[in-house]
Amino acid sequence: MTNPSADLNKRIRAIALYLPQFHPIPENDVWWGKGFTEWTNTAKAKPLFPRHYQPNVPGDLGFYDLRLPEARLAQAELAKEYGIEAFCYYHYWFAGKRILERPFNEVLESGEPDFPFCLCWANQTWSGIWHGAPNRTLIEQTYPGMGDHKRHFEYLLRSFQDHRYVKADGKPLFVIFQPRELPDSLRVTDYWRELALKNGLPGLYLVAQHDGSNIWEPKSAGFDAIYNVKLPPLKTEKVGWKKPLRKILNEYYKLLNYPSIYDYKKSLDEMPFYQVEGIDSLPCVIPNWDNTPRSGINGRVLFASTPELFKSHLRKALMRAKNLPDSRRFIFIKSWNEWAEGNYIEPDLRFGKKYLEVFQAELENFR
């Protein structure tokens, strides 16, 4: 007789990165004008080169406001319907200062939606890149010391103890967005694990976002796992370029004020699923990318992404995930709703639910 719990442990567990930027906050009112949200950049985007599809307009969920519990519930129900297990909310901690915290705080306080979650510490300095001013510092990410790390852990503890929190072998899964920026990371991760044990948790399952660098060892830095995110480097051949003409066309494109454009299909080969010895290497899929709504001609576009092309990318990721230990078969989706980066799997007016349908169908094939 088959053990249902054993089958459950062998499933591939999909986690979608989730941006909580879709509601006004006082800081954005000051920096960018009253009422600014991620929708502001998304809605005003314009095509910047031939066949450039902009703006991307949300479909089923509309231009939602994450202060509304109905909006958060609709997202969770949609994700669950199409096989996504959890949202990984971006979490901001600037030496104790919190920002964009309201949506997740209300999820935690209310108990709704009853949908699994985990957190990713987006530990990077905020600049003016959203409005084409990358040299303007808005909030600097600093690391004052172990006292601040203790306060940070204490803030996170209630989330870790919530029954909805995603766990690996009973340990809360926590992602660090810029792990190489965390000073003395081994000391910090050891300290956090010690605090977890003192508070009745079996430990922490710490995941580093990894850009493929071979000069950094996540295991030695205190991490249990990585997921890979690597967009094509700037030196990548642009769409339609022939090598003999590359140099000439490069100058021509600059004169035309085009952003950096990369063919999605070709770029899939440059987005490998990195293996790091001694830790779990969790695949991460990228359905699309176009951050010109934020960065204009300084942006980067994965051109001509389609659900069918995403399917081939996803299949490779799922095959890789099947090689992970049964209880830690995680796959990350970047992202659920980063609309101003053109990086989302929510329905839009162009493709409807096609990306979600592809995801669900391929996931079912691997069950």
Which pLDDT belongs to residue 250? 54
Lowest-pLDDT range of 5-9, 296-300, 361-365? 5-9
Which pLDDT belongs to residue 213? 74
Q: Can you identify the CATH homologous superfamily of domain 4-234+264-365? A: Glycosidases (3.20.20.80)
What is the C-alpha separation between 184 and 179, in angstroms, rounded? 10
Residues sharing a CB contact under 8 Å with residue 53, sequence separation 6 or more, in sequence order: 47, 350
What is the C-alpha separation between 145 and 314, in angstroms, rounded? 40
What is the C-alpha separation between 172 and 168, in angstroms, rounded? 6
| pLDDT of 343 strictly over 80 | yes
What are the start-end ranges of the E strands in 4-62? 13-18
- DSSP summary character for residue 51: T
Which pLDDT belongs to residue 268? 83
Residues 91-97, mean pLDDT to the nearest whole number: 98
Tokens of 367: 């069950």
Which pLDDT belongs to residue 254? 65
Query: Could you read off the pLDDT of 39-75 as tens digits, one per residue?
Result: 999 999 999 999 999 999 999 999 999 999 999 999 9
What is the C-alpha separation between 353 and 349, in angstroms, rounded? 9
Query: Could you read off the pLDDT of 184-243 as tens digits, one per residue?
Result: 999 999 999 999 999 999 999 999 999 877 788 999 999 999 998 877 654 344 444 444
DSSP string, 199-262: TT----EEEEEE---SS--TTTTT-SEEEE--PPPTTSPPTT--GGGHHHHHHHHHHTT--EEE
Using alpha carbons, list the distances in angstroms from residue 76 to 88, 154, 282.
12, 27, 23
What is the C-alpha separation between 169 and 104, in angstroms, rounded? 24
What is the C-alpha separation between 241 and 235, in angstroms, rounded? 12
